[in-house]
């Protein structure tokens, strides 16, 4: 098979917002306790944070980390997590039926994000929480001092405000599983009043309103339309969530990125409909603040335990290829998707996996996510692609999906490509004449014979990208043979 890609540097789509490479940590299972925080661990720092996990997160260069939930959020009392640890209450977490010890709260999480080089993407409880609870949380986090709540933060050891600029106004409020789920109009009204408080307290803050919890919800896109009709002029983003499953058809599963593109386009159309209805000059951006592969759902019964193993998917090479494809869809929609959070980051459907008292490993999906985060910054170009397509349940899927990033400062061009063909060595021709002559500086490839291969504590590097031989001579057209079922990153300078 042959695929021809013509890259023209003037055909720009958008400057990538680095928040596209964000992630998510919820008080859920072992994400916090024995994930990022394990005071007795030999590698724990003075605050009890695992330094092996810190190092893995740092390498991903994650700009924002959404916190504290997720479904957990809709029953969370943020004041439980502040003040002396020994006085904090142990609570029932009704969302996940576990015990929440509250040893970590906003102050500790903020400290951890600084250690990993990230910022907090805050979220406020729109389930059991009131508008006043949310406003109190904004004040505690962002108001400098001289009020009861800001001084409380200072007494608790944080003199300077946390300056949390991006706030999710609730989580998945369209879902019947959500604590105190609302209908779209009720949520829209509550979200509007909450955003007004947010922006009065901190005019620099941005608000993400809850869109649908998946494009598969029967209420999508009506929910989104109604929520936006209530909040359009005050909100900055509408959220999307989407997880992909393998229904025992690898071709369909590999085409998940096609479906993500369709979902994003439908959300954009909905937002733009409301824009037209309101005669607004403002464009609504999207925050895909939960995305990943998630389908294994292996878990032990865990009623009312502290930090049980929940949603600990073990990812395969195939899952990593799918995550790579989803990353390409994010880049190719960077004109409207400004924030995206890989859900989640540690242990719970996550690229980083820990053993209590033991080591930490990088799951297979760590690598494509790291690739897009490290090499996906710059201007997204829209190449012209000629190549075969195959039919899948999500529509026609290109044999090779690509994304091209021009980093004008670094003077490099990065070409990402996913070969979805099982038996197809692809002759991939890249025409980059508009850049003059370029040299290929590297090519890494994630592939393998066994699609079910995983990284384990015994074999932590079983699935790993490898360096491919590169053409050293300067050229304007490159011919590359892509291995079947492979995730590739090529850099030209
Ligand atoms: O990420 C796991 C869960 O998935 C989150 O708590 C929820 O928001 C979503 O349904």
* Residue extents of the structural domains in the chain: 2-9+381-492, 18-375
The sign one gets for the Cα dihedral 277, 280, 283, 287 is: negative
- Which of 70, 177, 217, 296 should be mutated for ligand 1, with most atoms under 8 A from CB? 70
Contact 484, 447 (CB under 8 A): yes
**H or E segment and range at residue 256:** helix 256-277
pLDDT, position 298: 62
Cα 411 to Cα 58, 188, 414, 467: the distances in Å are 24, 45, 10, 21
pLDDT, position 423: 83
Gap from CA of 351 to ligand 1 centroid (Å):
16
Q: Is the CB of 26 under 6 A from ligand 1?
A: yes
pLDDT, position 300: 67
pLDDT, position 410: 85
pLDDT, position 248: 85
pLDDT, position 303: 84
CATH number (3.30.930.10, 1.10.357.10, 3.30.420.140, 3.20.20.80) of 18-375 reads: 3.20.20.80
Gap from CA of 291 to ligand 1 centroid (Å):
10
Active site residue 245: no
Active site residue 300: no
pLDDT, position 193: 98
Q: Is the CB of 113 under 6 A from ligand 1?
A: no
Q: Is the CB of 447 under 6 A from ligand 1?
A: no
pLDDT, position 425: 85
pLDDT, position 130: 98
Q: Which of 108, 290, 401, 454 is catalytic?
A: 290
pLDDT, position 472: 84
Contact 267, 302 (CB under 8 A): no
ipTM, two decimals, is 0.99
Q: Is the CB of 29 under 6 A from ligand 1?
A: no
- Which of 22, 26, 173 should be mutated for ligand 1, with most atoms under 8 A from CB? 26
Gap from CA of 422 to ligand 1 centroid (Å):
32
The two tokens of residue 33 are 């306790």
Q: Is the CB of 127 under 6 A from ligand 1?
A: no
Give nearest CA residue, ligand 1 atom 1. 343
- Half-sphere exposure of 425 toward its Cβ, with a 13 Å CA cutoff? 3
pLDDT, position 208: 98
**Low-confidence residues of the chain: pLDDT under 70:** 297-301
The sign one gets for the Cα dihedral 166, 170, 171, 173 is: negative
| Residues with Cβ within 8 Å of residue 57, at least 6 apart in sequence | 116, 118, 345, 346, 352
Edge-to-edge strands of the sheet including 477-482?
384-386, 2-6, 426-431, 477-482
The two tokens of residue 337 are 């998707």
Cα 6 to Cα 119, 228, 416: the distances in Å are 37, 38, 14
Class level of CATH domain 2-9+381-492 = mainly beta
């Amino acid at each position: 098979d042959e695929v021809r890609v013509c890259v023209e540097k003037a055909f720009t789509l958008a400057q990538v917002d680095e928040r596209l490479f964000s992630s998510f940590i919820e008080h859920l299972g072992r994400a916090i306790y024995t994930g990022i925080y394990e005071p007795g661990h030999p590698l724990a720092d003075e605050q009890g944070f695992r330094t092996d996990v810190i190092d893995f997160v740092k390498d991903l260069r994650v700009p924002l980390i959404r916190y504290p939930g997720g479904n957990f959020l809709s029953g969370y009392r943020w004041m439980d997590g502040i003040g002396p640890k020994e006085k904090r209450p142990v609570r029932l977490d009704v969302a996940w039926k576990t015990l929440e010890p509250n040893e970590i709260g906003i102050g500790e999480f903020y400290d951890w994000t600084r250690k990993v080089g990230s910022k907090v993407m805050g979220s406020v409880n729109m389930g059991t929480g009131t508008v006043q609870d949310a406003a109190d949380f904004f004040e505690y986090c962002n108001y400098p001092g001289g009020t009861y709540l800001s001084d409380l933060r200072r007494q608790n050891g944080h003199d300077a405000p946390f300056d949390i600029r991006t706030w999710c106004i609730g989580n998945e409020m369209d879902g019947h599983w959500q604590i105190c789920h609302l209908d779209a109009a009720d949520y829209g009204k509550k979200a509007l009043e909450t955003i007004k408080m947010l922006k009065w307290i901190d005019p620099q803050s941005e608000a993400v309103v809850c869109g649908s919890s998946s494009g598969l919800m029967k209420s999508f896109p009506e929910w989104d339309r109604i929520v936006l009709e209530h909040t359009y002029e005050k909100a900055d983003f509408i959220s999307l969530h989407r997880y992909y499953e393998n229904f025992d058809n690898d071709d369909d599963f590999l085409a998940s990125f096609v479906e993500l593109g369709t979902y994003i386009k439908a959300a954009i159309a909905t937002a733009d409909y409301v824009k037209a209805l309101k005669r607004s000059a403002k464009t609504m951006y999207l925050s895909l603040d939960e995305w990943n592969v998630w389908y294994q759902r292996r878990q032990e019964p865990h009623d009312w335990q502290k930090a049980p193993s929940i949603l600990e998917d073990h990812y395969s090479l195939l899952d990593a290829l799918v995550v790579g494809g989803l990353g390409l869809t994010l880049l190719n929609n960077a004109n409207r998707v400004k924030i995206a959070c890989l859900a989640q980051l540690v242990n719970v459907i996550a690229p980083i996996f820990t053993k209590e008292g033991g080591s930490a490993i990088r799951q297979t999906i760590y690598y494509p996510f790291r690739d897009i985060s490290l090499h996906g910054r710059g201007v997204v170009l829209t190449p012209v692609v000629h190549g075969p397509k195959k039919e899948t349940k999500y529509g026609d899927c290109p044999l090779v999906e690509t994304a091209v990033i021009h980093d004008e400062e670094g003077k490099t061009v990065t070409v990402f490509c996913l070969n979805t063909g099982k038996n197809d060595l692809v002759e991939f021709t890249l025409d980059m004449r508009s850049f003059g002559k370029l040299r290929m500086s590297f090519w890494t490839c994630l592939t393998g014979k066994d699609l079910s291969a995983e990284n384990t504590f015994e074999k932590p590097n079983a699935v790993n990208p490898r360096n491919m031989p590169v053409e050293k001579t300067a050229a304007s057209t490159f011919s590359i043979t892509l291995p079947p079922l492979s995730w590739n990153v090529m850099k030209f300078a």
